[in-house]
Amino acid sequence: MPEHLPQVAHQFEDAAQQYETATLGMWAFLITEIMFFGGLFAGFFVYVLGHTQAFAEGSRHLDLALGTINTVVLLGSSLTMALAVRSAQQGHRNGQALFLALTIILGLVFLGIKGVEYAHKFEQHLVPGPQFQMEGSHAQSAQLFFSFYFAMTGVHALHMVVGVGLLSWLLINAWRGKYTQTYFTPVEVCGLYWHFVDVVWIFLFPTLYLVARHA
Amino acid sequence: MSTAASDVRTNYLNADYSVRSWLFTTDHKRIAILYLVSITAFFAFGGVMAGLLRLSLLTPNGDLVQAETYNKLFTMHGITMIFFFLIPSIPAVLGNFLVPIMVGARDLAFPRINLLSWYVYVLGGTFTLVAAVTGGVDTGWTFYTPYSSTYANTNVILTALGVFITGFSSILTGLNFVVTIHKMRAPGLTWSRLPLFIWAHYATSLIMLLGTPVIAITILLVALERGLGIGIFDPNLGGDPILFQHLFWFYSHPAVYIMILPSMGVMSELVACFSRKRIFGYNFVAFSSVAIAVLGFLVWGHHMFVSSQSMYAGMIFSLLSFLVAIPSAIKVFNWTATMYKGSIALETPMLYAFGFIGLFTIGGLTGIFLATLAVDVHVHDTYFVVAHFHYIMVGGAIMGFLGGLHFWWPKITGKLYSEVWGRIAAVTLFLGFNLTFFPQFILGFLGMPRRYHVYPPEFQFLNVLSTAGATVLGLGYLLPILYLTWSLFFGKAAGSNPWGATGLEWQTSSPPPTFNFDKTPVVTEEAYAYDSQLEGHRA
């Protein structure tokens, strides 16, 4: 058995193998995530065909301004995440900590705005269930739109919460100087996850806020 | 290796005896044992359910249990056997144990995730068991909406959560295998030198990764619909219950291949070893696994021929389902061709292999009947379907599991079981199985519907035959539990290669050391070099 660096786990031959394995593992996991969200998207598009008018009406009740702001916030967090990975690769401890912290803050801003949107929906009785109320002729089917809205953005928000948790863990380790030019795998792998969650939103935003609205 | 005596070596079993060392182990071999114990428990639980069902069906009036109880029994039988026994059986036990050894690695790529998968499995199982003992669930293992989401008054949410959680253990196992097979192979172990067991597990893992998330989100939506009133499958809110069927079968048909593909991988190892021959048409057997995995995602609509699906969709799904027969037949013919002029030894694992080939062929061919639109309308939801999938699942998957368990038992435990009892059990199981399920083909063809606890008196004779067979089958399952356990304490030491098999797992000691090999093996030849070995071994 070759001499092991302390951060190389026992099952690997060397750091390069560990890095490749971890990255492939995350990509494989992200593929499962695509299928997970894919089920929701597939259902949504099937129903758009059957309830075009109702979904358009439902979509027009979403807050386009807040949705757009959130898209910008999330894209910004992708930038800071990429910069954090770059800092880790170059071994800049302060850069890592700064950009990870910024990413966490932007993630929390996104969740906060999402919370405000949810609160408005509760006040306007747009949450599916017995108290659901909406004027117009398509109230019944529009409720279906909001079922999808809450299921899809809810599951996405859950992924954001997990992401913020992961980044907080990275931040602590980065501050302790654990990630160096020779060992930055966790930062890169969590970065992949964070970018993926952003990309999901890049599909959710037009699907829910833009496309259905103009149908 | 200076210490030749294998009984004094430190191995994965005697390295540490504490409970803690088992519950917090990251050794893939110990996790395989944890899984073996858990799935055996679930198998026994599901088996008792099946026994009660068959007892109740002895008489046409269903004298043993009431209709509601009967519904709960067949639901719990299906859920337990499919999600908690068949899906994890070979991958999580034999695959967990063998994949790293067969690729010449010290462990899986992510050992802690491997342990996590077992805990996730146990958690999901606990949910389901709690649901079972606090009132049960009566939706059938398929959870069809709107019954499951709106009308059923049983523990649907709890059971659904159990299945949802367990799905993640399957995803984690598949992820570990894919990454391990890609990145952890020993020097010289090219893709075309991999054992076919590995190819089968690779294909299985792809299905686990691509299919399981879809059932996860589907089941979650059913639970949300019951719990929070969102209406994606609820017709009252404009939802469509048929969408549930599409999403459900998009996973659950490929899931059938999660259960059978690993068995086929075991088969390739058994047939080559006990025929002392190279596997015939290695590339075809390897790629037929991948072909089954891919085609498996394109056939889900054959479960919905009578669910208001368009006739044209039905025709396409029917045609695509026929295509699955091609890679399946390639495997069966290649195993047969491997045996041709081979030096066949009728050891216990090989008896299971023979059983598999016969029963899988019957199960597969009746699958073609069911994929035929017109025939399916006649036999849909009858005992013909029940018999068909039990021929695949019990006759195929479980025969493969038991064959593999007997083949690798000496490697896993370092002990030899009684060959005589092994053969008696294999033959008992084969006879009991056919007596149980062959009459069900006839019952189904005559029109007896599944999932009813009463039936017209003229069906009683065949039902009595089936119940008698189930008794023999139950006895057959009891035997391996007894003599395999016995072998743990009183069995003879196995030695590193009792069958004279090729493959990396037979080159390390039995039981293997914690990190599998003393030094990383270097592979210089294909997996089934029995031809070159034949001279020396059968002298």
Do residue B237 and residue A10 have CB atoms under 8 angstroms apart? Answer: no
> In this structure, is residue B23 part of a structural domain?
no
CATH code (residue B93): 1.20.210.10
Q: Which two tokens stand for residue B98?
A: 């063998």
Which residue of chain B comes nearest to A141, CA vs CA? B238
By a Cβ cutoff of 8 Å, what residues of chain A touch chain B?
A: 1, 9-11, 13, 17, 20-21, 24-25, 28-29, 31-33, 35-40, 42-43, 46-47, 50-51, 54, 128-130, 140-141, 143-144, 147-148, 150-151, 155
Do residue A28 and residue B216 have CB atoms under 8 angstroms apart? Answer: no
Predicted confidence at residue A1, as pLDDT, reads 41
* Position with higher pLDDT, A211 vs B408: B408
Contacts of B171 in chain A (CB under 8 A): 32
Predicted confidence at residue B5, as pLDDT, reads 46
DSSP codes of every residue in B289-336: HHHHHHHHTT-GGGG-TTTT--HHHHHHHHHHHHHHHHHHHHHHHHHH
Do residue A20 and residue B183 have CB atoms under 8 angstroms apart? Answer: yes
| Amino acid occupying residue B70 | Y
Predicted confidence at residue B4, as pLDDT, reads 45
Q: How far apart are the first and last CA of chain B?
A: 27
The CA radius of gyration of chain A, in Å to the nearest whole number, is 21
Q: Which two tokens stand for residue B427?
A: 């033959």
Predicted confidence at residue B538, as pLDDT, reads 44
Contacts of B230 in chain A (CB under 8 A): 128-129, 147, 150-151
Do residue B213 and residue A33 have CB atoms under 8 angstroms apart? Answer: yes
For chains A and B, count residue pairs whose Cβ atoms are closer than 8 Å: 113
> In this structure, is residue B6 part of a structural domain?
no
Class of residue A206 by CB neighbours under 10 A (exposed 0-12, middle 13-18, buried 19+): middle
Contacts of A9 in chain B (CB under 8 A): 111
Do residue A43 and residue B247 have CB atoms under 8 angstroms apart? Answer: yes
Predicted confidence at residue A136, as pLDDT, reads 77
Mean predicted confidence (pLDDT) in A132-141: 81
Contacts of A17 in chain B (CB under 8 A): 183-184
* Contact status of B210 with chain A (Cβ, < 8 Å): yes
> In this structure, is residue B13 part of a structural domain?
no
> In this structure, is residue B314 part of a structural domain?
yes
Whether pTM exceeds 0.90 = yes
Measured between alpha carbons, how far is A29 from A52 in angstroms, rounded to an integer?
34
Do residue B238 and residue A143 have CB atoms under 8 angstroms apart? Answer: yes
Question: A148-191 pLDDT, tens per residue?
Answer: 999 999 999 999 999 999 999 999 999 998 999 889 999 999 99
Instruction: Work out how many domains chain B is built from and give that number.
Output: 1
Low-confidence stretches of chain B (pLDDT < 70) are 1-8, 532-539
> In this structure, is residue B312 part of a structural domain?
yes
Do residue A21 and residue B179 have CB atoms under 8 angstroms apart? Answer: yes
Q: Check if the beta carbon of residue B285 is closer than 8 Å to that of residue B196.
A: yes
Q: Check if the beta carbon of residue A85 is closer than 8 Å to that of residue A191.
A: yes
Measured between alpha carbons, how far is B453 from B59 in angstroms, rounded to an integer?
9
Class of residue B340 by CB neighbours under 10 A (exposed 0-12, middle 13-18, buried 19+): exposed
> In this structure, is residue B76 part of a structural domain?
yes
Question: A87-111 pLDDT, tens per residue?
Answer: 999 989 999 999 999 999 999 999 9
Do residue B247 and residue A147 have CB atoms under 8 angstroms apart? Answer: no
Which residue of chain B comes nearest to A14, CA vs CA? B184
User: Smallest Cα–Cα separation from B276: which of B342, B213, B227?
Assistant: B342
Question: A19-55 pLDDT, tens per residue?
Answer: 999 999 999 999 999 999 999 999 999 999 888 888 9
Contacts of A42 in chain B (CB under 8 A): 247
**Chain centroid offset of residue B125 CA:** 17
Contacts of A144 in chain B (CB under 8 A): 231-232, 237-239
Do residue A21 and residue B230 have CB atoms under 8 angstroms apart? Answer: no
Give A157→chain B minimum CA distance, Å. 15
Length of chain A: 215
> Which domains, and CATH codes, for chain A?
19-43+64-124+146-202 (1.20.120.80)
Question: B286-317 pLDDT, tens per residue?
Answer: 999 999 999 999 999 999 999 888 999 999 99
> In this structure, is residue B232 part of a structural domain?
yes
Mutation target among B237, B245, B250 for the A interface, most CBs of A within 10 A? B237
Do residue A144 and residue B239 have CB atoms under 8 angstroms apart? Answer: yes
Which residue of chain B comes nearest to A143, CA vs CA? B237
Give B210→chain A minimum CA distance, Å. 6
Q: Which residue has the tokens 């890169």?
A: A188
Contacts of B217 in chain A (CB under 8 A): 36-37, 39-40, 155
DSSP codes of every residue in chain A: -PPPPTTS-TT-SSHHHHHHHHHHHHHHHHHHHHHHHHHHHHHHHHHHHHSHHHHHHHHHTS-HHHHHHHHHHHHHHHHHHHHHHHHHHHT-HHHHHHHHHHHHHHHHHHHHHHHHHHHHHHHTT-SSSTT----STTHHHHHHHHHHHHHHHHHHHHHHHHHHHHHHHHHHHHHTT--BTTB-HHHHHHHHHHHHHHHHHHHHHIIIIIITTT-
Which residue of chain A comes nearest to B172, CA vs CA? A29
Q: CA separation (Å) from A59 to A53, A139, B25, B259?
A: 10, 12, 51, 42
Mutation target among B25, B110, B168, B175 for the A interface, most CBs of A within 10 A? B175
* Domain enclosing residue B484, as ranges: 28-537
Give B395→chain A minimum CA distance, Å. 31
DSSP category for residue B499: T
